[in-house]
Structure 1
């Protein structure tokens, strides 16, 4: 479980045209590198949320994509919709302009857009440390939004003054309560329907959906509640084969997606029902396994399946393909119709409960003793593995420590045998478990074969 700032905390939206430094400001305020920063217009397409604390006051902040005309980018209309959504839910707007370039027609158009909102607006002149920028600050008075606060998000200049202005103008919430949330990462190859599935779960267009691979560039966190359970949903960028990852923005997106897998409690691996044999899917599953996370394999776009009665056959194919993670359940969904979405969230709650399960030490040793007596380890050069004692050291993931005479005598097949027996006896469906074998002298009780 992860701890998140409460949704009742005031929200500030960062808006502006492309490449004025909105994401750099977001990262500066939140002291993170969650938003992608590149010298490429349109790097951020979706809404990204974070928070900061200043003088004992907590404020949430949302980064948005750059607003521009539809002729500039095929995603412009979708980005504009996302920006309008952020403005609507925010308590205050930070309108970021580029002081080094001066006022532009795009800045004027965004000003007209902001005037339709009742939210207070603070004009932020970024990149004011660049040559000639100070002389262009006067131009921004023509926007009619008051005196601009000049800053450099990259170097941190003027940020204190900006924070003072923000906390003076947003509703006062002192030290808001934090909420423990189940963090779910939605991962998969590009264009398998991750964002559509996220939007179906949330019941709103939270992320930009397009049939162009790589539409989602940032990992987008959205808190929500399901049947009394506090959850956080992360729609990650599609993970490609390393040889096919473009430099720059896409490379950062993939790294962020892999980072969010490491921070997740449960991972939804989304695969396309029309193409189940792609090696990259198993690569992603392997990464989830290595991180010791909970996982469910999601067969999306099931409404497009030619034979919808063939679920058992599909599940059997997936079992064979993901034989290294036979514990991962398969769920069939359709983001378009909502089929299987509720069951998916129920499955996530179940998996998280399983990840918190503890096995009494006496029951664990009794099981291992019985397993060894029924099927003992093989001899290796005249020596045999001896298990003295077993205990569960951790949860999430469940971690078991085996004290043995020599870990080098453990064959991978016997390790799998022991894992299967533990899973069968104590029910660890949906989560990876870890088994560690440590050398110990034989002064402990020995589990004999």
Structure 2
């Protein structure tokens, strides 16, 4: 993909703030803590009529031996090689640091693509101080304040001069499949195993993933958008800060999903947090695939674990269960096979005449009464999909209690051939 503008720099120089400023919304998480961004984040941007893909990257630490930072560096090197323009960001508040000098040397083979961006220039005094950064060896230097917007327009004027006049697309089409679960259950490992590349950074350290990462993917002619999310702990354990925003992004990703892969660590079984997340998935009427990962560490057989999952997550009885070992690639394609079945049912549509017959027949099976009078259904129809939604117009809406609704939904799923999807039931009175 051409017209890629990649933001590079050491940790905590304001790369994500600049990214958010350019795209005009808060997509990357910003905190005054080094190393918040780890995986690359992309967004479509436009300036002076030219469209481009803007890429935010993790903080680059060239000589670090930290496992996560090494993987961040590998990701950045891949992005630099694909870039049309590189925005090398430094901070005027810190002056030229040894890390800045190291990164300048690393980027020198790409010097024709590089624009040096001195960030955090909030005053005229800061602007005068920014000339110090010419010692890094780059001719083009732009003092900016990503927080206040100062100088960003001039920077973009220069950046887009180097880009082609062409449309760029970053609208990912396909089944939105979100990988969700508590920290360190293997969400990122599963996504990488499906992609057969390390697109997202994986580490034994819980909480490695912070931003949500969307990756387009095609399998057997079906288009997917695979979405990796930060691990979700229960609210009482989440402090305000990076994790607070990460969890918020994860919950938003679930909200905008077609299907949620609820990832369970098979060696631990079903914990309270899986039940909480499962309850959220049920309340939001999302399609779901339950993925029991790390089966190589599980003391139970697949059959025994399936029985346990069905018992503990009984309210997700429509969700198929898949068993995987992400580190070995075992069972990962089963996720897509089951997801395709879920999506088939999640988008299933029936004619009104058929829905009417099914609803009337189900009411006859188990008649409902209200204060000694028979409950009638005047008519019923399917209002929409994602999920399949059945609307029933009745004489006594208040008679349809929770237990009867559950019975009715179960019978609707059976009769409408919706095995792997929730069905939403809407009861209304006649106007």
Q: TM-score, normalised by structure 1?
A: 0.91
1:327 partnered with 2:318: yes
Whether the aligned pair in 1 keeps the contact of 2:111 and 2:138 (CA below 8 Å) is no
Q: Which has the larger share of helix?
A: 2
Aligned to 2:25: 32
Aligned to 1:313: 304
- Mapped partners of 2:285, 2:48: distance in 1: 38
Cα deviation, residue 100, structure 1: 2.6
Aligned to 1:344: 335
Change in CA separation of 1:371 and 1:64 when aligned onto 2, cut-off 3 Å:
same
Whether the aligned pair in 2 keeps the contact of 1:23 and 1:35 (CA below 8 Å) is yes
Q: In the alignment, which of 6, 9, 19 is matched to residue 16 of structure 1?
A: 9
Change in CA separation of 1:416 and 1:222 when aligned onto 2, cut-off 3 Å:
same
Cα deviation, residue 233, structure 1: 1.3
Whether the aligned pair in 2 keeps the contact of 1:51 and 1:59 (CA below 8 Å) is yes
1:362 partnered with 2:353: yes
1:351-378 superposed Cα distances (whole Å, 9 cap, x missing partner): 223222111111111111111111112x
3-state SS of 2:80 partner: helix
3-state SS of 2:173 partner: strand
Whether the aligned pair in 2 keeps the contact of 1:216 and 1:237 (CA below 8 Å) is yes
1:354-413 superposed Cα distances (whole Å, 9 cap, x missing partner): 222111111111111111111112x34434432211111111121111111232111111
Where in structure 1 are there 5+ consecutive unaligned residues? 1-7, 442-449
Change in CA separation of 1:177 and 1:279 when aligned onto 2, cut-off 3 Å:
closer
Whether the aligned pair in 1 keeps the contact of 2:43 and 2:170 (CA below 8 Å) is no
Equivalent positions of 1:4-403 (< 5 A) are: 8-68=1-61, 75-117=68-110, 120-130=113-123, 132-174=125-167, 176=169, 178=171, 180-306=173-299, 310-377=301-368, 379-403=369-393
Whether the aligned pair in 2 keeps the contact of 1:195 and 1:208 (CA below 8 Å) is yes
Change in CA separation of 1:50 and 1:365 when aligned onto 2, cut-off 3 Å:
same
Whether the aligned pair in 1 keeps the contact of 2:62 and 2:103 (CA below 8 Å) is no
- Mapped partners of 2:230, 2:144: distance in 1: 31
Change in CA separation of 1:208 and 1:174 when aligned onto 2, cut-off 3 Å:
closer
Q: In the alignment, which of 379, 404, 411 is matched to residue 401 of structure 2?
A: 411
3-state SS of 2:174 partner: strand
- Mapped partners of 1:74, 1:176: distance in 2: 33
Cα deviation, residue 73, structure 1: 5.7
Cα deviation, residue 255, structure 1: 0.5
- Mapped partners of 1:259, 1:352: distance in 2: 20
Aligned to 1:428: 418
Whether the aligned pair in 2 keeps the contact of 1:68 and 1:106 (CA below 8 Å) is yes
3-state SS of 2:327 partner: coil
Cα deviation, residue 208, structure 1: 1.5
Where in structure 2 are there 5+ consecutive unaligned residues? none
3-state SS of 1:75 partner: helix
Aligned to 1:444: none
- Mapped partners of 1:290, 1:122: distance in 2: 48
- Mapped partners of 2:292, 2:345: distance in 1: 22
Cα deviation, residue 166, structure 1: 2.1
- Mapped partners of 2:170, 2:214: distance in 1: 18
Whether the aligned pair in 2 keeps the contact of 1:10 and 1:171 (CA below 8 Å) is yes
- Mapped partners of 1:15, 1:410: distance in 2: 58
Cα deviation, residue 181, structure 1: 2.2
Change in CA separation of 1:48 and 1:175 when aligned onto 2, cut-off 3 Å:
closer
Change in CA separation of 1:393 and 1:278 when aligned onto 2, cut-off 3 Å:
same
- Mapped partners of 1:392, 1:325: distance in 2: 22
Change in CA separation of 1:93 and 1:364 when aligned onto 2, cut-off 3 Å:
same
Whether the aligned pair in 2 keeps the contact of 1:56 and 1:175 (CA below 8 Å) is no
Whether the aligned pair in 1 keeps the contact of 2:185 and 2:263 (CA below 8 Å) is yes
- Mapped partners of 2:165, 2:341: distance in 1: 38
Whether the aligned pair in 1 keeps the contact of 2:89 and 2:119 (CA below 8 Å) is yes
RMSD between superposed Cα atoms in Å: 2.0
Aligned to 1:3: none
